[in-house]
Structure 1
């Protein structure tokens, strides 16, 4: 078990020297000098794997630059060899008449190649014939990893060095001890020298491990591929990574279950985002922050994004500025958008919302469904004699408490319905709005229907956000989740903030690990307003983790301001099902 690293500034508690330690990962990658390669070359009766047959197999097994085994044999194709093939290879029908058939040779080859990476020059041709031969004789092809020296050569050998990427040209370039002559074993030996020459050229570009070969032939700019060495010394544990420029400024922050593998992927062809390409040209280093648990990595990322506001992250880097919906304090409250987090316990709060636009859509939906007024004037408890109702009242969308005393009862009823919805109680909101959506769709008013859908989704997201926050605001929660290898993640939260996390290697270690984490966890004063103890996104991440089916709550202190959990989430799931159902009639509903 381990706590957060001191340089992460995440404040999740101190290191814990208790019952367990983080096990080193077994996924560090295999250096190329430890990888066994089997270089293979075939001669055949023609170019079609299914119509033609193998006449000769040559294979060389190498590791660390040393040849450890060879196989070279003619193969009886059980059919005639065309004259033009004989001219090219020198293999005649008489030569293969007494040779073993593929049924005998292929098992021997597969035994030689067991556990190795197959290498061939124009691998599609050779591997295609081998696979087809296995299929014909009823053997299972093992699908080994394959490296094509033609593809590698296209990445690192220019036309100035060699006129083409044929085996003979590359053998001359790399001073092969064996010159290819269209005989299988000779060509395989030449390909071994070519492979070693290509790998030597690719090492400065970051191709140093077996895992790098999977993308070594991808069309990646050389300058970017060369920076793959930034991932060289990263650990293979879960955690957070920071790309930094030469001055140390943080450019981009992300999380990974395997830091080394994830960072390495930025330097392959799988990374196609233009913003990332721009960032990688500036990046000079990668700073890893290993974390004992994935949930701690997610929390650290949230905090570091808010702290550094990196220019290449598209997620919100200003979480403190997210808007909320609050009720005004007056005789006839209305909803308003606020940037300041409301006090804990204030009724009718929704949010935070990702943007002001989202908050405005939610305000419009709630005001219409629950009959809350949208005018901004402060209204007295008793209507003034000269007050004049607005257009909304004339259309029947407002109870007109500004002009009619009898409207106060209807307004109070609508307000109570809204407060019940905000508390997480089941309401008729979904039925009311979906009925409206069907009416608009039936009238072919699709744009208005889409707007009503967006308003409802924003309102439900705002309610879901505050319900998630409330569910995680207990003074202390200690929980554990089993992992695939038999260990347990143990987490301590206080008022919605992650204060400690670690790993118990065995089930019986969980109680001791939990006690040690509780003792070393960060103290969190009781907050008086939302987001005072933790960013909203952090609390929602923790709530999602705590409510996973596999998580076991070890202890919960204090009742906290708990709501009926996830009423809005369930309603939003129901809405999604309705919008995606057979009766869907709203363009863009998803």
Structure 2
């Protein structure tokens, strides 16, 4: 007896013969042609493997609405026939179980699969995302114009001598489509198509150039890692990650690849390099590093690691806030753009009397005339000698305190102004002020968590791999220094000891992230959320007054439960 293969087995880097693939050929009858507005009245499906029928599924479905007369005239399914039939919410789970681990086949598959996918969404069921073969599309690829005048199911059934005539009833049409499928599979065998991957490759929207390059994936392992497409001059064209290198790279040479630029890249590619990784975290980090090193032309620019922007206090007697590229100790950030950093500066200036002018002011008193900012009460006018260095320092200390997480007095000032605007019923201004405060809280919270991680000399964390084993990461000053796994049943601590002993040496530099890139620290933080701490060179703790204490306010404000920052 032949064992049915699961999707994991089908995609595990092997060319599974078509005779070992389980196909479910499905046909639907509906109340109309829109998956958004119409619904199903009948489902018919035939399960086949190796050319033999191993099961059928057929049921009328109560559409919970009237069937239009035009549809009745085509299908013959009337309101009386579906009265008392099970509803789609009842039928769908049984159908999904019937098609589990199978390849779906349909004539004009986008129609039938679109209805099924939409129905799953409406009834809170998970669509399993199976491979799909469209017999209409396959027929266009296989049959010539001399053989068939068109590619309608009725025509193909007649031309290919199907045993069942399609009559716009679901099971009969599914049976006819099954016969059409078998005839088409016999035809594609002459073109060297003997596996599911080769069948998907043979569909019309795979260019001959793509198909010829398919051998570039040969020899790739079935492991997580990073792959690099290289061009004729050995230049890196594209970098990507995969949980299964061979399966992912093979997809670039199939009908599933729709991106025009990527198809162009595949044609240019001469070879594919790869780096095996212990688990997806290592692959993601290595991808970031390779993108930064090579800047491949076919990767989207939005995916490249970005140089971050930072906010710093200038080094002078009367410091001011400045937006810079290179951070130093005490810098606030990182920000993805200069505009985001400048917005944070504006918000901080709203809550303090830090000066806004850009000229350098010496410690000695000046005799210049105060500007309008002083008259509005937003600056102590040190430029005019109206404020000494000692008098100016407390505001600087408050800014340093909120950035470092030692003091949140600045946030309380901003929140107080929010309450004042709300009480005065100046709701538009209050909403703008709320958004500014929320953005500042997010930026401070992000920066404090990232700098805290980067300040740790070494930590080792573990996450379950989903199969009873463990994934490990050794992180040093915000950089991934080593990665490894322990399979189910293997003692984990010897693996941890070996990883620490062989981990990359990381020499920290100045700045909140100790020389690590913002993108890498962000990826590590995301992975560490929910991970188990195995070892840590020092306590991983945030300051007591860090902005994490403001996250509950932020969640309520964003959710709209406290529209202007006041009490619920």
TM-score normalized by the length of structure 2: 0.69
Tell me the alpha carbon deviations over residues 257-307 of structure 1, each in whole angstroms, 9 at most, x when there is no partner: 233444455566766666556545544544332211222112101111110
| Structure 2 counterpart of 1:578, from 528, 543, 557 | 557
Change (3 A) 1:363 1:156: farther
Shift of 1:362: 1.6
CA distance in 1, matches of 2:108, 2:413: 65
State the match for 2:543 in structure 1.
564
After superposition, where does 1:164-175 map in structure 2 within 5 Å? Answer: 164-166=150-152
- Give the aligned partner of residue 226 of structure 1: 211
Query: Residue by residue, what CA displacement relative to the aligned partner does 1:48-73 show, whole Å, maximum 9, x if unpaired?
Result: x999999xx9x89553xxx567999x
Which residue of 326, 329, 337 maps to 1:340? 326
Identify unmatched segments of 5+ residues in structure 1: 1-23, 73-111, 128-141
| 8 Å CA contact 2:353, 2:395 repeated in 1 | yes
Aligned to 2:222: 236
Q: CA deviation at 1:403?
A: 2.9
* Distance of 1:374 and 1:257 partners within structure 2: 50
1:54-133 to 2 correspondence within 5 Å? 63=50
1:499 to 469, 474, 481: 481
1:551 corresponds in structure 2 to 532
2:300 aligns with 313
- Alignment of 1:194 onto 2:184: yes
Which residue of 399, 418, 435 corresponds with 2:399?
418
Deviation at 1:486, TM superposition (A): 1.0
1:296 aligns to 2:282 (yes or no): yes
Shift of 1:245: 3.0
- In structure 1, what is the equivalent of residue 90 of structure 2? none
Q: Relative to 1, partners in 2 of residues 1:249 and 1:572: Cα closer, same or farther, differing over 3 Å? A: farther
Larger radius of gyration: 1
Q: SS of the residue aligned with 1:28?
A: coil
Deviates further, 158-167 or 251-260: 158-167
Distance 1:186 1:324, change over 3 A: closer
Say if 2:206 and 2:255, in contact at 8 Å, map to a contact too.
Answer: no
Give the drift of 1:475: 2.1
Give the Cα separation in 2 of the matches to 1:293 and 1:566.
Answer: 36
1:460–1:571 Cα contact (<8 Å) kept? no
Give the secondary structure class of the aligned counterpart of 2:334. coil
Residues 445 and 126 (structure 1 numbering): CA distance in 2 closer, same or farther, change over 3 Å?
closer
Paired residue for 1:374?
Answer: 356
The Cα offsets for residues 226-252 of structure 1, whole Å up to 9 and x where unpaired, read as 378355654332222333333332233
| Cα separation, 1, equivalents of 2:481 and 2:467 | 25
Contact 1:29–1:210 (8 Å) recurs in 2? no
CA distance in 2, matches of 1:255, 1:143: 21
Alpha-carbon contact 1:468-1:565 (below 8 Å) kept: no
Q: What is the CA deviation profile of residues 509-538 of structure 1, one whole-angstrom value per residue up to 9, with x for unaligned ones?
A: 211001111221122234345556532322
- Deviation sequence 1:154-201 (CA, Å, 0-9, x none): 35545465322256865898xx6x675849899965652223224655
Structure-1 residue corresponding to 2:313:
327
Partner of 1:247: 233
Partner of 1:483: 465
- 1:351 Cα shift? 1.9
Q: Which has the higher contact order (CA 8 A, sep 6+)?
A: 1
From the superposition, tell whether residues 583 and 513 of structure 1 become closer, same or farther in structure 2 (CA, over 3 Å): closer
- Provide the residue aligned with 1:525 in structure 2: 507
User: Is the contact made by 2:407 and 2:545 (CA closer than 8 Å) also made in structure 1?
Assistant: no
Contact 1:167 1:180 in 2 (8 A): no
Q: SS state of the match for residue 302, structure 2?
A: coil
- Any idea what the Cα deviations from partners look like across 1:124-143, whole Å, max 9, x if unmatched? 9999xxxxxxxxxxxxxx99
3-state SS in 1 of match to 2:223: coil
Match of 2:18 among 33, 56, 63: 33
Structure 1 contact 470–563 (Cα < 8 Å) conserved: yes
1:461 to 443, 457, 464: 443
**Contact 1:171 / 1:194 at 8 angstroms: preserved in 2?**
no
Q: Is the contact between residue 500 and residue 518 of structure 1 (CA under 8 Å) also seen in structure 2?
A: yes
Residue 389 of structure 1 pairs with residue 370 of structure 2: yes
Instruction: Verify the 8 A CA contact 2:24 2:47 in the aligned structure 1.
Output: yes
Task: List per-residue Cα deviations over 1:10-42 (Å, max 9, x = no partner).
Answer: xxxxxxxxxxxxxx9983356233524568799
Alpha-carbon deviation of 1:573?
6.7
**The residue matched to 1:479 in structure 2 has which SS?**
strand
Shift of 1:428: 4.0
Counterparts of 2:356 and 2:509, CA distance in 1: 31
> Could you list the per-position Cα deviations for residues 303-339 of structure 1 after superposition, in whole angstroms to 9, with x for gaps in the alignment?
11110112233236464x4322221122221122222
Contact 1:425 1:564 (8 Å CA) reproduced: yes
Q: 1:542 to 1:462 in 2, by over 3 A?
A: same
Any conservation in 2 of the 1:323–1:355 contact (CA below 8 Å)? yes
SS of the aligned residue for 1:541 comes to helix
Aligned to 1:398: 379
Gaps of 5+ in 2: 1-8, 30-38, 57-97, 114-127, 167-171
Judged with a 3 Å threshold, the aligned counterparts in structure 2 of structure 1 residues 491 and 70 are, in CA distance, closer, same or farther, namely closer
Aligned residue in 1 for 2:70: none
Q: CA RMSD in A?
A: 4.9
**Paired residue for 2:139, among 133, 153, 156?**
153
What's the offset of the Cα at 1:569? 5.2
Cα distance between partner residues in 2 of 1:569 and 1:153 = 60
Q: Deviations over 1:322-378 (max 9, x none)?
A: 322221122221122222232xxx3x3112322222222222222222321121222
Higher mean alpha-carbon deviation, 163-172 vs 255-264, is at 163-172
State which of 504, 508, 516 in structure 2 corresponds to 1:534.
516
Count of aligned pairs between the two proteins: 485
8 Å Cα contact 1:239-1:259 kept in structure 2: yes
- TM-score under structure 1 normalisation? 0.66
